[in-house]
Structure 1
Protein backbone atom coordinates (compact mmCIF):
# COMPACT_ATOMS: atom_id res chain seq x y z
CA UNK A 1 0.00 0.00 0.00
CA UNK A 2 1.35 3.42 -0.98
CA UNK A 3 1.04 6.40 1.39
CA UNK A 4 1.88 10.07 0.93
CA UNK A 5 2.92 11.73 4.19
CA UNK A 6 2.82 15.53 4.43
CA UNK A 7 4.44 16.68 7.68
CA UNK A 8 6.81 19.65 8.07
CA UNK A 9 8.17 18.63 11.47
CA UNK A 10 11.33 16.81 10.38
CA UNK A 11 11.59 14.59 13.45
CA UNK A 12 7.92 13.59 13.46
CA UNK A 13 8.05 13.01 9.71
CA UNK A 14 10.97 10.62 10.20
CA UNK A 15 9.31 8.82 13.13
CA UNK A 16 6.08 8.24 11.20
CA UNK A 17 7.94 7.21 8.04
CA UNK A 18 10.06 4.63 9.87
CA UNK A 19 7.03 3.27 11.71
CA UNK A 20 4.98 2.87 8.53
CA UNK A 21 7.87 1.33 6.62
CA UNK A 22 8.32 -1.21 9.40
CA UNK A 23 4.68 -2.11 8.75
CA UNK A 24 5.76 -2.71 5.12
CA UNK A 25 3.91 0.33 3.74
CA UNK A 26 5.48 2.20 0.82
CA UNK A 27 5.83 5.82 2.01
CA UNK A 28 6.70 9.07 0.21
CA UNK A 29 7.46 12.00 2.51
CA UNK A 30 7.00 15.70 1.71
CA UNK A 31 7.31 18.83 3.83
CA UNK A 32 5.11 21.51 2.24
CA UNK A 33 1.77 21.67 0.46
CA UNK A 34 3.03 22.51 -3.02
CA UNK A 35 5.52 19.64 -2.90
CA UNK A 36 2.66 17.34 -1.90
CA UNK A 37 0.63 18.61 -4.84
CA UNK A 38 3.44 17.74 -7.26
CA UNK A 39 3.64 14.20 -5.91
CA UNK A 40 -0.13 13.75 -6.05
CA UNK A 41 -0.29 14.69 -9.73
CA UNK A 42 2.70 12.48 -10.61
CA UNK A 43 1.91 9.31 -8.64
CA UNK A 44 -0.93 7.14 -7.37
CA UNK A 45 -1.54 6.67 -3.65
CA UNK A 46 -3.88 4.61 -1.51
CA UNK A 47 -3.91 6.99 1.48
CA UNK A 48 -2.88 10.59 2.19
CA UNK A 49 -1.66 11.58 5.67
CA UNK A 50 -1.72 15.39 5.85
CA UNK A 51 -0.61 17.81 8.52
CA UNK A 52 -2.57 21.08 8.31
CA UNK A 53 -0.18 23.88 9.28
CA UNK A 54 2.51 23.36 6.64
CA UNK A 55 4.37 25.83 4.39
CA UNK A 56 3.14 27.13 1.01
CA UNK A 57 -0.28 25.46 0.95
CA UNK A 58 -2.00 24.29 4.13
CA UNK A 59 -3.54 20.85 4.41
CA UNK A 60 -7.16 22.02 4.33
CA UNK A 61 -6.68 24.02 1.12
CA UNK A 62 -4.60 21.24 -0.42
CA UNK A 63 -7.34 18.69 0.12
CA UNK A 64 -10.06 21.04 -1.13
CA UNK A 65 -8.05 21.63 -4.29
CA UNK A 66 -7.47 17.97 -5.11
CA UNK A 67 -11.07 17.04 -4.24
CA UNK A 68 -12.26 19.68 -6.73
CA UNK A 69 -10.10 17.94 -9.34
CA UNK A 70 -11.76 14.60 -8.69
CA UNK A 71 -9.00 12.99 -6.61
CA UNK A 72 -10.87 10.98 -3.97
CA UNK A 73 -7.94 9.21 -2.29
CA UNK A 74 -8.71 8.43 1.37
CA UNK A 75 -7.22 11.15 3.58
CA UNK A 76 -6.38 11.38 7.27
CA UNK A 77 -5.41 14.69 8.86
CA UNK A 78 -2.74 14.45 11.59
CA UNK A 79 -2.59 17.88 13.15
CA UNK A 80 -2.32 20.08 16.23
CA UNK A 81 -5.25 22.14 14.87
CA UNK A 82 -7.57 20.59 17.43
CA UNK A 83 -10.38 23.06 18.01
CA UNK A 84 -13.88 21.91 17.11
CA UNK A 85 -13.89 24.47 14.29
CA UNK A 86 -10.68 22.93 12.91
CA UNK A 87 -12.16 19.43 12.95
CA UNK A 88 -15.28 20.75 11.23
CA UNK A 89 -13.23 22.45 8.51
CA UNK A 90 -11.18 19.29 8.05
CA UNK A 91 -14.21 17.15 7.35
CA UNK A 92 -15.78 19.83 5.16
CA UNK A 93 -12.62 19.92 3.09
CA UNK A 94 -13.12 16.23 2.36
CA UNK A 95 -11.07 14.21 4.85
CA UNK A 96 -12.01 10.70 5.95
CA UNK A 97 -10.52 10.89 9.44
CA UNK A 98 -8.89 13.39 11.78
CA UNK A 99 -6.18 12.66 14.38
CA UNK A 100 -5.28 15.30 16.93
CA UNK A 101 -1.64 15.65 17.99
CA UNK A 102 -0.08 14.32 20.09
CA UNK A 103 -1.09 10.76 19.26
CA UNK A 104 0.22 7.24 19.76
CA UNK A 105 1.52 5.41 16.70
CA UNK A 106 -0.84 2.57 17.59
CA UNK A 107 -3.75 4.98 17.12
CA UNK A 108 -2.44 5.84 13.65
CA UNK A 109 -2.27 2.11 12.86
CA UNK A 110 -5.88 1.64 13.93
CA UNK A 111 -7.08 4.60 11.86
CA UNK A 112 -5.24 3.36 8.77
CA UNK A 113 -6.63 -0.16 9.24
CA UNK A 114 -10.13 1.28 9.53
CA UNK A 115 -9.67 3.35 6.35
CA UNK A 116 -8.46 0.21 4.55
CA UNK A 117 -11.56 -1.66 5.71
CA UNK A 118 -13.99 1.10 4.73
CA UNK A 119 -12.39 1.70 1.33
CA UNK A 120 -11.56 -1.93 0.59
CA UNK A 121 -7.84 -1.17 0.37
CA UNK A 122 -5.43 -4.09 0.64
CA UNK A 123 -3.07 -2.89 3.41
CA UNK A 124 0.03 -4.88 2.49
CA UNK A 125 1.03 -6.77 -0.60
CA UNK A 126 3.16 -9.89 -0.50
CA UNK A 127 6.80 -8.99 0.06
CA UNK A 128 9.19 -10.90 -2.12
CA UNK A 129 11.99 -12.69 -0.26
CA UNK A 130 13.45 -14.59 -3.21
CA UNK A 131 12.24 -16.36 -6.34
CA UNK A 132 10.32 -19.01 -4.39
CA UNK A 133 9.50 -17.25 -1.12
CA UNK A 134 7.20 -14.39 -0.10
CA UNK A 135 6.24 -12.80 3.21
CA UNK A 136 2.58 -12.19 3.99
CA UNK A 137 2.99 -9.69 6.85
CA UNK A 138 -0.78 -9.35 7.28
CA UNK A 139 -1.26 -13.01 8.16
CA UNK A 140 2.20 -13.63 9.65
CA UNK A 141 3.05 -16.27 7.08
CA UNK A 142 6.03 -17.13 4.94
CA UNK A 143 4.81 -18.58 1.64
CA UNK A 144 7.34 -20.93 0.09
CA UNK A 145 6.87 -23.28 -2.85
CA UNK A 146 3.11 -23.72 -2.28
CA UNK A 147 3.56 -24.17 1.47
CA UNK A 148 2.84 -21.67 4.24
CA UNK A 149 4.74 -21.34 7.51
CA UNK A 150 3.41 -19.34 10.45
CA UNK A 151 5.79 -16.92 12.19
CA UNK A 152 5.22 -14.78 15.28
CA UNK A 153 4.60 -11.04 15.16
CA UNK A 154 8.05 -10.30 16.56
CA UNK A 155 9.73 -12.64 14.07
CA UNK A 156 7.86 -10.79 11.33
CA UNK A 157 9.00 -7.43 12.73
CA UNK A 158 12.62 -8.59 12.79
CA UNK A 159 12.39 -9.87 9.22
CA UNK A 160 10.74 -6.66 7.98
CA UNK A 161 13.51 -4.56 9.54
CA UNK A 162 16.23 -6.71 7.99
CA UNK A 163 14.48 -6.47 4.61
CA UNK A 164 14.33 -2.69 4.98
CA UNK A 165 18.11 -2.70 5.54
CA UNK A 166 18.80 -5.35 2.91
CA UNK A 167 22.44 -6.11 2.09
CA UNK A 168 23.57 -4.09 5.12
CA UNK A 169 25.00 -5.60 8.30
CA UNK A 170 22.58 -4.85 11.16
CA UNK A 171 23.87 -5.02 14.71
CA UNK A 172 22.00 -6.60 17.60
CA UNK A 173 21.77 -3.14 19.20
CA UNK A 174 20.23 -1.65 16.05
CA UNK A 175 17.63 -4.41 15.91
CA UNK A 176 16.86 -3.90 19.59
CA UNK A 177 16.41 -0.14 19.28
CA UNK A 178 14.21 -0.31 16.19
CA UNK A 179 12.15 -3.46 16.64
CA UNK A 180 11.76 -3.16 20.41
CA UNK A 181 11.63 0.66 20.47
CA UNK A 182 8.96 0.94 23.19
CA UNK A 183 9.53 -2.37 24.96
CA UNK A 184 12.11 -3.92 27.26
CA UNK A 185 15.40 -4.46 25.45
CA UNK A 186 15.80 -8.15 24.50
CA UNK A 187 18.96 -10.15 25.12
CA UNK A 188 21.25 -11.14 22.28
CA UNK A 189 20.19 -14.77 22.80
CA UNK A 190 16.52 -13.81 22.37
CA UNK A 191 17.27 -12.14 19.05
CA UNK A 192 19.40 -15.13 18.05
CA UNK A 193 16.38 -17.37 18.70
CA UNK A 194 14.19 -15.25 16.41
CA UNK A 195 16.81 -15.40 13.67
CA UNK A 196 17.15 -19.18 14.11
CA UNK A 197 13.37 -19.61 13.78
CA UNK A 198 13.30 -17.47 10.63
CA UNK A 199 16.10 -19.49 9.07
CA UNK A 200 14.07 -22.65 9.56
CA UNK A 201 11.46 -21.39 7.08
CA UNK A 202 13.67 -19.29 4.80
CA UNK A 203 16.42 -20.46 2.50
CA UNK A 204 19.64 -20.82 4.50
CA UNK A 205 21.52 -18.05 2.68
CA UNK A 206 18.81 -15.36 3.09
CA UNK A 207 20.00 -14.18 6.51
CA UNK A 208 23.74 -14.21 7.15
CA UNK A 209 25.52 -14.17 10.48
CA UNK A 210 28.08 -11.35 10.46
CA UNK A 211 30.59 -12.33 13.12
CA UNK A 212 31.10 -9.63 15.72
CA UNK A 213 28.40 -7.42 14.19
CA UNK A 214 24.98 -9.01 13.79
CA UNK A 215 22.92 -10.10 10.81
CA UNK A 216 22.37 -9.26 7.14
CA UNK A 217 19.42 -9.90 4.83
CA UNK A 218 20.86 -10.86 1.45
CA UNK A 219 19.04 -9.67 -1.65
CA UNK A 220 20.22 -9.78 -5.25
Structure 2
Protein backbone atom coordinates (compact mmCIF):
# COMPACT_ATOMS: atom_id res chain seq x y z
CA UNK A 1 0.00 0.00 0.00
CA UNK A 2 1.23 3.46 -0.88
CA UNK A 3 1.55 6.28 1.67
CA UNK A 4 2.42 9.93 1.15
CA UNK A 5 4.34 11.36 4.13
CA UNK A 6 4.46 15.16 4.53
CA UNK A 7 6.89 16.15 7.28
CA UNK A 8 9.42 19.00 7.07
CA UNK A 9 11.57 17.81 9.98
CA UNK A 10 14.18 15.86 8.00
CA UNK A 11 15.16 13.53 10.83
CA UNK A 12 11.58 12.72 11.82
CA UNK A 13 10.68 12.25 8.16
CA UNK A 14 13.45 9.68 7.79
CA UNK A 15 12.52 7.87 11.00
CA UNK A 16 8.85 7.56 10.01
CA UNK A 17 9.76 6.54 6.46
CA UNK A 18 12.08 3.76 7.65
CA UNK A 19 9.45 2.49 10.09
CA UNK A 20 6.69 2.43 7.46
CA UNK A 21 8.96 0.63 5.01
CA UNK A 22 9.65 -1.97 7.72
CA UNK A 23 5.87 -2.48 7.83
CA UNK A 24 5.93 -3.17 4.06
CA UNK A 25 4.38 0.15 3.00
CA UNK A 26 5.48 1.95 -0.17
CA UNK A 27 6.36 5.46 1.04
CA UNK A 28 6.69 8.75 -0.85
CA UNK A 29 8.23 11.48 1.33
CA UNK A 30 7.74 15.22 0.93
CA UNK A 31 8.81 18.25 2.96
CA UNK A 32 6.66 20.94 1.35
CA UNK A 33 2.85 21.17 1.25
CA UNK A 34 2.59 22.35 -2.35
CA UNK A 35 4.90 19.58 -3.52
CA UNK A 36 2.78 17.07 -1.61
CA UNK A 37 -0.40 18.36 -3.24
CA UNK A 38 1.13 18.02 -6.70
CA UNK A 39 2.22 14.45 -5.98
CA UNK A 40 -1.28 13.56 -4.82
CA UNK A 41 -2.76 14.90 -8.05
CA UNK A 42 -0.21 12.92 -10.07
CA UNK A 43 -0.17 9.59 -8.21
CA UNK A 44 -2.48 7.22 -6.36
CA UNK A 45 -2.12 6.91 -2.57
CA UNK A 46 -4.02 4.79 -0.03
CA UNK A 47 -2.98 6.92 2.99
CA UNK A 48 -1.75 10.43 3.76
CA UNK A 49 0.34 11.25 6.85
CA UNK A 50 0.48 15.04 7.14
CA UNK A 51 2.29 17.47 9.38
CA UNK A 52 0.30 20.71 9.69
CA UNK A 53 2.96 23.43 9.92
CA UNK A 54 4.98 22.87 6.75
CA UNK A 55 6.28 25.26 4.04
CA UNK A 56 4.20 26.60 1.12
CA UNK A 57 0.88 24.99 2.03
CA UNK A 58 -0.16 23.77 5.47
CA UNK A 59 -1.36 20.24 5.97
CA UNK A 60 -4.77 21.64 6.90
CA UNK A 61 -5.06 23.64 3.69
CA UNK A 62 -3.80 20.71 1.66
CA UNK A 63 -6.51 18.41 3.02
CA UNK A 64 -9.16 21.10 2.59
CA UNK A 65 -8.10 21.48 -1.05
CA UNK A 66 -8.45 17.74 -1.60
CA UNK A 67 -11.91 17.70 -0.04
CA UNK A 68 -12.99 20.69 -2.15
CA UNK A 69 -11.91 18.73 -5.23
CA UNK A 70 -13.83 15.70 -3.91
CA UNK A 71 -10.63 13.69 -3.47
CA UNK A 72 -11.06 11.28 -0.57
CA UNK A 73 -7.89 9.66 0.79
CA UNK A 74 -7.60 8.53 4.44
CA UNK A 75 -5.43 11.09 6.28
CA UNK A 76 -3.70 11.26 9.65
CA UNK A 77 -2.36 14.55 11.00
CA UNK A 78 0.90 14.33 12.98
CA UNK A 79 1.46 17.65 14.71
CA UNK A 80 2.75 19.48 17.76
CA UNK A 81 -0.53 21.44 17.95
CA UNK A 82 -2.06 19.97 21.10
CA UNK A 83 -5.15 21.90 22.17
CA UNK A 84 -8.65 20.54 21.94
CA UNK A 85 -9.45 23.28 19.41
CA UNK A 86 -6.49 22.20 17.26
CA UNK A 87 -7.82 18.64 17.23
CA UNK A 88 -11.30 19.89 16.36
CA UNK A 89 -9.93 21.95 13.46
CA UNK A 90 -8.01 18.93 12.20
CA UNK A 91 -11.08 16.72 12.11
CA UNK A 92 -13.18 19.52 10.60
CA UNK A 93 -10.64 19.68 7.75
CA UNK A 94 -11.42 16.05 6.98
CA UNK A 95 -8.78 14.04 8.86
CA UNK A 96 -9.47 10.42 9.79
CA UNK A 97 -7.17 10.65 12.81
CA UNK A 98 -4.97 13.09 14.73
CA UNK A 99 -1.66 12.13 16.34
CA UNK A 100 0.08 14.52 18.71
CA UNK A 101 3.88 14.82 18.71
CA UNK A 102 5.87 13.30 20.24
CA UNK A 103 4.42 9.86 19.66
CA UNK A 104 5.52 6.24 19.64
CA UNK A 105 5.84 4.71 16.18
CA UNK A 106 3.74 1.81 17.38
CA UNK A 107 0.89 4.27 17.94
CA UNK A 108 1.11 5.37 14.31
CA UNK A 109 0.93 1.71 13.29
CA UNK A 110 -2.14 1.20 15.48
CA UNK A 111 -3.91 4.19 13.96
CA UNK A 112 -3.15 3.06 10.41
CA UNK A 113 -4.46 -0.40 11.27
CA UNK A 114 -7.62 1.13 12.74
CA UNK A 115 -8.29 3.06 9.54
CA UNK A 116 -7.76 -0.12 7.53
CA UNK A 117 -10.23 -1.89 9.81
CA UNK A 118 -12.80 0.87 9.38
CA UNK A 119 -12.29 0.85 5.61
CA UNK A 120 -12.32 -2.96 5.51
CA UNK A 121 -8.75 -3.30 4.19
CA UNK A 122 -6.70 -6.28 5.41
CA UNK A 123 -2.99 -6.32 6.35
CA UNK A 124 -2.01 -7.53 2.88
CA UNK A 125 -3.82 -4.67 1.17
CA UNK A 126 -6.81 -6.77 0.14
CA UNK A 127 -10.31 -5.39 0.49
CA UNK A 128 -13.53 -7.37 0.15
CA UNK A 129 -16.01 -5.54 -2.07
CA UNK A 130 -18.62 -8.18 -1.31
CA UNK A 131 -18.68 -11.92 -0.59
CA UNK A 132 -17.79 -12.70 -4.21
CA UNK A 133 -15.24 -10.00 -5.04
CA UNK A 134 -11.84 -9.04 -3.57
CA UNK A 135 -9.25 -6.49 -4.71
CA UNK A 136 -5.60 -6.13 -3.71
CA UNK A 137 -4.17 -2.58 -3.76
CA UNK A 138 -0.56 -3.73 -4.06
CA UNK A 139 -0.78 -6.37 -6.77
CA UNK A 140 -3.79 -4.80 -8.57
CA UNK A 141 -5.31 -8.28 -8.64
CA UNK A 142 -9.09 -8.52 -8.72
CA UNK A 143 -10.64 -11.81 -7.64
CA UNK A 144 -14.20 -12.49 -8.80
CA UNK A 145 -15.85 -15.81 -7.91
CA UNK A 146 -12.41 -17.45 -7.45
CA UNK A 147 -11.19 -16.20 -10.86
CA UNK A 148 -8.29 -13.70 -10.75
CA UNK A 149 -7.72 -10.75 -13.07
CA UNK A 150 -4.80 -8.30 -13.29
CA UNK A 151 -6.26 -4.84 -13.84
CA UNK A 152 -4.61 -2.29 -16.13
CA UNK A 153 -3.36 0.87 -14.40
CA UNK A 154 -6.31 3.13 -15.29
CA UNK A 155 -9.02 0.61 -14.49
CA UNK A 156 -7.36 -0.12 -11.14
CA UNK A 157 -7.26 3.59 -10.25
CA UNK A 158 -10.93 4.01 -11.11
CA UNK A 159 -11.89 0.89 -9.16
CA UNK A 160 -9.94 2.16 -6.12
CA UNK A 161 -11.87 5.41 -6.28
CA UNK A 162 -15.15 3.50 -6.45
CA UNK A 163 -14.06 1.40 -3.45
CA UNK A 164 -13.33 4.54 -1.41
CA UNK A 165 -16.85 5.72 -2.24
CA UNK A 166 -18.67 2.38 -2.14
CA UNK A 167 -22.46 2.74 -2.20
CA UNK A 168 -22.10 6.48 -2.93
CA UNK A 169 -22.90 8.12 -6.25
CA UNK A 170 -19.84 9.58 -7.99
CA UNK A 171 -19.84 11.71 -11.12
CA UNK A 172 -17.61 11.57 -14.20
CA UNK A 173 -16.06 14.84 -12.98
CA UNK A 174 -15.19 13.36 -9.58
CA UNK A 175 -13.63 10.30 -11.21
CA UNK A 176 -11.57 12.59 -13.45
CA UNK A 177 -10.32 14.86 -10.66
CA UNK A 178 -9.31 11.91 -8.53
CA UNK A 179 -7.41 9.98 -11.19
CA UNK A 180 -5.80 12.39 -13.63
CA UNK A 181 -3.63 15.48 -13.60
CA UNK A 182 -5.73 18.44 -14.75
CA UNK A 183 -4.12 18.78 -18.18
CA UNK A 184 -4.42 15.05 -18.90
CA UNK A 185 -8.10 14.47 -18.09
CA UNK A 186 -9.70 12.26 -20.79
CA UNK A 187 -13.12 12.76 -22.29
CA UNK A 188 -16.24 11.54 -20.53
CA UNK A 189 -16.64 8.93 -23.27
CA UNK A 190 -13.18 7.53 -22.54
CA UNK A 191 -13.96 7.24 -18.83
CA UNK A 192 -17.20 5.44 -19.65
CA UNK A 193 -15.13 2.97 -21.67
CA UNK A 194 -12.94 2.23 -18.63
CA UNK A 195 -16.07 1.70 -16.54
CA UNK A 196 -17.44 -0.61 -19.23
CA UNK A 197 -14.21 -2.64 -19.01
CA UNK A 198 -14.65 -2.97 -15.24
CA UNK A 199 -18.25 -4.10 -15.66
CA UNK A 200 -17.13 -6.89 -17.96
CA UNK A 201 -15.17 -8.32 -15.03
CA UNK A 202 -17.28 -7.32 -12.04
CA UNK A 203 -20.68 -7.79 -13.62
CA UNK A 204 -23.14 -5.09 -14.68
CA UNK A 205 -24.97 -5.20 -11.36
CA UNK A 206 -21.80 -4.22 -9.45
CA UNK A 207 -21.58 -0.72 -10.95
CA UNK A 208 -24.95 1.00 -11.30
CA UNK A 209 -25.55 3.96 -13.62
CA UNK A 210 -27.54 6.74 -11.96
CA UNK A 211 -28.97 8.56 -14.95
CA UNK A 212 -27.85 12.17 -15.24
CA UNK A 213 -25.71 11.95 -12.08
CA UNK A 214 -23.01 9.28 -12.23
CA UNK A 215 -22.18 5.78 -11.04
CA UNK A 216 -22.31 3.74 -7.84
CA UNK A 217 -20.32 0.69 -6.75
CA UNK A 218 -22.67 -1.74 -5.01
CA UNK A 219 -21.80 -4.38 -2.42
CA UNK A 220 -25.31 -5.73 -1.81
CA UNK A 221 -25.55 -8.48 -4.40
TM interval, short-chain normalised: 0.5 to 0.7
Q: Secondary structure at the match of 1:78?
A: strand
CA distance in structure 1 between the aligned counterparts of 2:60 and 2:85, rounded to whole angstroms: 12
Going from structure 1 to structure 2, the CA distance change for 1:60 and 1:44 (only over 3 Å counts) comes to same
Query: What count of residue pairs does the alignment treat as equivalent?
Result: 126
Aligned equivalent of 1:8: 8
Q: Quote the RMSD (CA, aligned, Å).
A: 1.2
What is residue 35 of structure 1 aligned with on the other side?
Answer: 35
TM-score (norm 2): 0.56
> How much has 1:121 moved relative to structure 2?
2.6
Aligned to 2:105: 105
Q: Secondary structure at the match of 1:48?
A: strand
The residue number in structure 2 matching 1:115 is: 115
Aligned partner of 2:44 in structure 1 is 44
* CA shift digits 1:22-51 (9 cap, x unpaired): 111000000010000011000011110000
Unaligned 5+ segments in structure 1 are: 127-220
Distance in 2 of aligned mates of 1:47 and 1:120:
14
**Is residue 60–residue 90 contact of structure 1 (8 Å, CA) maintained in 2?**
yes
Q: Which has the larger radius of gyration?
A: 1
Distance 1:27 1:107 in 2: 18
- Structure-2 separation of matches of 1:52 and 1:22: 25
- Does the 8 Å contact 1:25/1:124 carry over to 2? no
Per-residue Cα deviation, 1:74-105 (whole angstroms, up to 9, x for no partner): 00001101111110110000000000000000
**SS state of the match for residue 38, structure 2?**
helix
Q: TM-score, normalised by structure 1?
A: 0.56
For structure 2, list consecutive stretches of 5 or more residues without a partner in the other structure. 127-221
> 1:55-84, CA deviations, whole angstroms, 9 ceiling, x for partnerless residues?
000011110010110111100001101111
User: Match of 2:64?
Assistant: 64
